[in-house]
Amino acid sequence: MKKGLVIYLLTALVLLASAQEGDYFLSIKRYPFINYSKNEITFLSDSTYFNPIYNKIDSIVLFGKGKLNIVHIGGSHIQADIYTHQIRKQLQSIQYDMNGGRGFIFPYTLAQTNNPWNYQVSYTGNWDFCKNTKYKPACQLGLAGYSVSTSDTLASISINLNNDSLTNFSYNHVKVFHTPGRYNLSIVNADSAFSGVYDSIGGYTAFNVLPANTLELVVNKSDSTDAKFTLFGFNFENDNPGIVYHAIGVNGAKLESYLNCALYKQQIAQLNPDLVIFSIGTNDGNTKHFNTPKYYREYRQLINTTRQACPNTRIMITVPNDAYYYKRYVNKNTLQIRKEIFKIVQEENYAVWDFFSIMGGLNSSQEWYRYGIMKYDRVHFTRPGYLLKGDLFVTAFLRGWEKNITLRSKTYFEAKKLTQNITTSQSITNDRRP
């Protein structure tokens, strides 16, 4: 690459990142109890750990090439997909049209639980569900932490991805994760029916379809046996460069909940994430007798499983929010949870977003509740509170990107200056020779 082009691209990135970061930061409402100065993605040793992430953003922004796949895993905060959808929309708006696809979703409606408001689900037939929070669940579970099953001769699931009318999550590829069996699957969209190809290694059927933002999955039993069809989720994809933000959450989930999912490793590998964000700990700590060694051990186990499936992925852990338990007592377990998270981050040089400290630390949930941005249980947030949390995360993320660009620009110009000085020095020396 020519030097002039390098200078131009680095300058363009600095200006773009500075403008974007500033816009997000200035749009955030100010509260006296939030530590805005602490709002950053922290690396306890080597900040270059995130360079592959930032480099992919650069490629998308400057050249319109590539995808950045982010998987965010947690509990009820993630299942609701309010603050994670805010993150999704903001990151996909760094500049025009960075929507790389809707990504992985689960039809929570079939599991008789709250479905994210940004996509709608309906169904026909009788469906049973299973959840990873059950003690030793007697069912198959994968990445979603939920599964739904039917023995009906004919059943269907319909999904509208554009319930959020501001974003067009059109797709032309979809992977349906399910058990193999004596069922024929077809997808109906844009008034056309499509058949797929089953991938036994990935555990999904892949469909290439016409671009659309709705889908009907038709499940048709191929014989008279009582075999069950079990669904683990969908991954909606498009061919556009951009960012894909997969949000995966289960109400009440703990670390051990995801360790109950036998197909977790197989299925997360199919998403090929560049970054996996873990936000787990609120439910682990919701007890009078917090088991510190167990929490540390299970977090290491879940991360190790993830890295075995996705060896090139980067890991970020977020510290849970301050919370109450039994709606009456300040949960001091979060202090210990924070300590264990920082211990893991220090040992492995992962990234950490310390939301506990950013929101104000111990008992700050009371202030969030007083200002109407947290619910009475002082565990969950109101919608404005979740949107604020999403904006805080995006600001921290973009700050990291901006710092990375600035550092690379500084390094480049310093290297160029050093080279010029060496060249000048050599020229002077040569001129002085007899």
Helices (H), 27-91: 51-63, 76-79, 83-91
H or E stretch at 356: helix 355-358
Long-range CB contacts (< 8 A, 24+ apart) of 404-412?
A: 404/47, 404/50, 404/51, 404/54, 405/10, 405/13, 405/14, 405/17, 405/54, 405/58, 406/14, 408/10, 409/10, 409/11, 409/13, 409/14, 412/6, 412/7, 412/10
Give me the torsion for CA of 85, 86, 87, 89, rounded to 10°.
Answer: 80
Q: Where does the chain hold its CATH 3.40.50.1110 domain(s)?
A: 1-100+241-422
What integer is the mean pLDDT of 53-72? Answer: 95
- 46 secondary structure, DSSP code: -
According to the model, what pLDDT value does residue 415 have? 47
Residues written for the chain: 434
- Which is more confident, 7 or 230? 230
* Residue from 60, 116, 40 nearest 85 by CA: 116
pLDDT band at residue 412 under the 50/70/90 scheme? very low
Residue whose pair of structure tokens reads 């009475």 in the numeric block = 376
Number of neighbouring beta carbons within 10 Å of residue 325: 18
**Joined tokens for residue 10:** 């680095």
Q: What are phi and psi of 193, to 5 degrees?
A: -110, 140
According to the model, what pLDDT value does residue 45 have? 83
What integer is the mean pLDDT of 58-82? Answer: 96
Q: Which residues contact 191 (CB under 8 A, 6 or more apart)?
A: none
According to the model, what pLDDT value does residue 65 have? 94
**Joined tokens for residue 391:** 């904006």
Greatest Cα-to-Cα distance within the chain, rounded to the nearest angstrom = 100
* Residue from 179, 110, 107, 103 nearest 139 by CA: 179
236-258 pLDDT, tens per residue? Answer: 999 999 999 999 999 999 999 99
According to the model, what pLDDT value does residue 424 have? 44
Cβ proximity of 302 and 350 under 8 Å? no
- Amino acid identity, residue 265? K
Q: Which residues pair with 173 in a beta bridge?
A: 208, 237
Residue whose pair of structure tokens reads 């509990």 in the numeric block = 75
Q: β-pairing, 351-353 with 314-318?
A: parallel
* pTM for this entry: 0.90
Q: What are phi and psi of 295, to 5 degrees?
A: -60, -50
pLDDT band at residue 2 under the 50/70/90 scheme? very low
Q: Which CATH class is domain 1-100+241-422?
A: alpha beta
Cβ proximity of 111 and 145 under 8 Å? no
Q: Measure the CA–CA gap between 79 and 195, rounded to whole angstroms.
A: 30
What is the average pLDDT score of the chain?
89
Secondary structure (3-state) at 315: strand
Q: Measure the CA–CA gap between 141 and 177, rounded to whole angstroms.
A: 11
* Residue from 75, 89, 148, 150 nearest 118 by CA: 89
Measured distance between the N- and C-terminal CA atoms of the chain, rounded to whole angstroms:
39
265-290 pLDDT, tens per residue? Answer: 999 999 999 999 999 999 999 999 99
Assign domain 103-239 to its CATH architecture. Answer: Sandwich (2.60)
Q: Residue 289: exposed, middle, or buried by beta-carbon count in 10 A (0-12, 13-18, 19+)?
A: exposed
Q: Where does the chain hold its CATH 2.60.120.1360 domain(s)?
A: 103-239
